[in-house]
Homo-oligomer: A and B are copies of this chain.
Amino acid sequence: MKRDSRLSSVLHALLHMAERGEPMTSETLAACMCTNPVVVRRTMGLLRDAGLVASARGPSGGWQIVADLNAVSLRDLYDALGEPTVFAIGNRHEAPQCLVEQAVNAALDDAFADAEALLLDRLGKITLARLSADFNRRHAAHRSRA
């Protein structure tokens, strides 16, 4: 099954944006995210609605981070993206009145709910600032190797 990599992609874009100070166009971001400018606008538009980035039209326009990197967690990004479905595995809902289906789904729902809670909790504890620091650490290590 194909997986939704928007969270990963958006993080990629945001870290690149954090490195630069100035606005980046949808076109530039699309190139760096291996996708299409329109897709970038749609996705970044969600982050803008959540107050994480700002967009400006016209020459010298583009996208820029406006939030404090320390205050933005991956959970915030997940929420901004519309809380996309976490699991690729789900319940059947063909026969809601079937007692077999009810027993099965009740058991599965519990397990999935707990795992989802754990995941979102973890995402809530990872900030953009930490990822940026992690990137800079890797960058330094990389340069010292060369």
**Are B8 and A100 interface neighbours, CB within 8 A?**
no
**Are B34 and A103 interface neighbours, CB within 8 A?**
no
How far, in Å, is A126 (CB) from chain B's closest CB?
A: 5
**Are B3 and A104 interface neighbours, CB within 8 A?**
no
How far, in Å, is A42 (CB) from chain B's closest CB?
A: 16
Stretch from A21-29, A51-59, A62-70, A87-95 at the B interface: A87-95
How far, in Å, is A18 (CB) from chain B's closest CB?
A: 10
Given contacts A87-B3, A87-B88, A88-B86, contact A8 B104 (CB under 8 A): yes
**Are A104 and B1 interface neighbours, CB within 8 A?**
no
How far does the alpha carbon of A114 sit from the alpha carbon of B3 in the complex, in Å?
18
- CB-CB under 8 A from A100, the residues of chain B are 12, 15-16, 135
How far, in Å, is A135 (CB) from chain B's closest CB?
A: 4
Copies in the complex: 2
- CB-CB under 8 A from A130, the residues of chain B are 107
Chain A residues packing against B (C-beta within 8 Å): 1-5, 7-9, 11-12, 15-16, 33-34, 74, 84-92, 94-95, 98-108, 110-112, 114-116, 118-119, 122-123, 126, 130-131, 134-135, 138-139, 142
> Can you list 10 A-B pairs with a CB-CB distance of less than 8 A?
A3-B88, A3-B89, A8-B92, A9-B92, A12-B100, A74-B108, A74-B111, A85-B89, A99-B135, A103-B135
